[in-house]
Structure 1
Amino acid sequence: MRKLFPRIRFSRKQKIVRNLVLVLLCLFLTEWLLEFPALTDAALLRRAERIWLLENTELLFTAGEDNAGMLYGRNGNLLLTVTYGRTILGKQYFQSLLWEESDGIHCSSRDLWPLEIMAFGSLEDAAWAEIEVDIHWEGNFGGRDWDTQRTYTAQGIRHNPYCFTFQLEPCFSEADTSAEAEMERAFFAGEGPGFTYQTVLRLYDGAGRMTAEKTMGYLEDIGLGWPEEETV
């Protein structure tokens, strides 16, 4: 029976060229499926700049996990974060967020409640920092109606010239069995009555003088690219 399509014979050089073309085609298709990952942090930052119509953004630092991370940048009083995933071909752009801050400092939380807070941006002149969070609980929990306010403070851990993180700690010990202690433990576990809060960031110089104060309400959660260790 005669074959419908005749067999094409390639020379050794033609086979090498064919295989090379197939490899390049596979790489292109993979790059296309991954939305053309960036090879460097600078290239990833430039991609985000094009989205926000910016230029000359300063890369402050990077942070993240094994398979994902975040770039932090500054452009005057604009602060930019770029979330990405790591692939074998580079860093895949996920999303970017932009904030306008008159003092060049932005604060975010790690979770939906303000237990861990990060401040980043124009912090290079601060010798140390502290956060104060006033939390107001209101609602029913544990068979009791709550209308309680408590203030928590935490000193910042500096990770680099542009970043502090803060960890709130409970006021009551684990051995305390009072209703207030039970409610606080529930809150730190992500439960408890409804709450609102106000946050105050204070910056200090080397002599302990306060140089700036920033009052904020709700803090947005951008916990993916969180610095995990003190790097000073």
Structure 2
Amino acid sequence: MKIIGIDLSGPANAKDTVMTVFSIEKGRLIFEETITNASDSMILTAIVRIAKNDEAVIGLDAPLSYQDGGGDRPQDKSIRQFIKGFGLVGGSIMPPTLTKMVYLSLRGIGLTRTMMMHHLLGKVRIVEVHPGAAIGTRIGPENLYHARNYKKEEAQPSRNVIFNWLQTVGLQGLPQEISGTSHQIDSCAAALAAWHWADPDKQPAWLWSETSPEHPFEFCC
């Protein structure tokens, strides 16, 4: 089985989209490849290639649905409250229809529905994830500063801390360049959350399991 983490950006900003692929071996995630500057076409081509030979679980960092009438979905409210208990900033969870989020939501919804139209969901499972929450709820209070600041442009030391930490929680073989941007870090954290969601011997830090035709995917961190 492959575990794939995707840190998605808006459709006009593919340069900040990163897809990282791992295989599961002996209770660890083994790094296989990273695709940077990933367009929808590149993502779909890679997933089709992988699905020909393996089952795959995809952790996708983007809203995969929106609330009728706008504003928060129930799952947005729930995870926001959850991460505040770990000292994380609740403002990192934004409504899918917020102006600065709407293009990301559009791309996430469009990409997953295209996968459905390609009948990929027989061999591919998708879960919405929040990488920052996946890091911040696991890394411990001694590293909270780094979990809160690694996305800042000047925060290479914090990204180095998180890069090293990821290897202690089962992600093996990561190339050093993964620490270069928050998008690469987030793609790995998306895979971590998806792994804990899919593996029956593990569990996510937080899970919204209620699905419906309007909200077809579970959400975890």
Q: Of the two, which has the highest radius of gyration?
A: 1
**Structure with more relative contact order (C-alpha pairs < 8 Å, separation 6 or more):** 2
**TM-score tier (shorter):** under 0.3
TM-score normalised by structure 2 residue count = 0.23
User: If each structure's helix is expressed as a fraction of its own residues, which one has the higher value?
Assistant: 2
User: If each structure's strand is expressed as a fraction of its own residues, which one has the higher value?
Assistant: 1
TM-score normalised by structure 1 residue count = 0.22
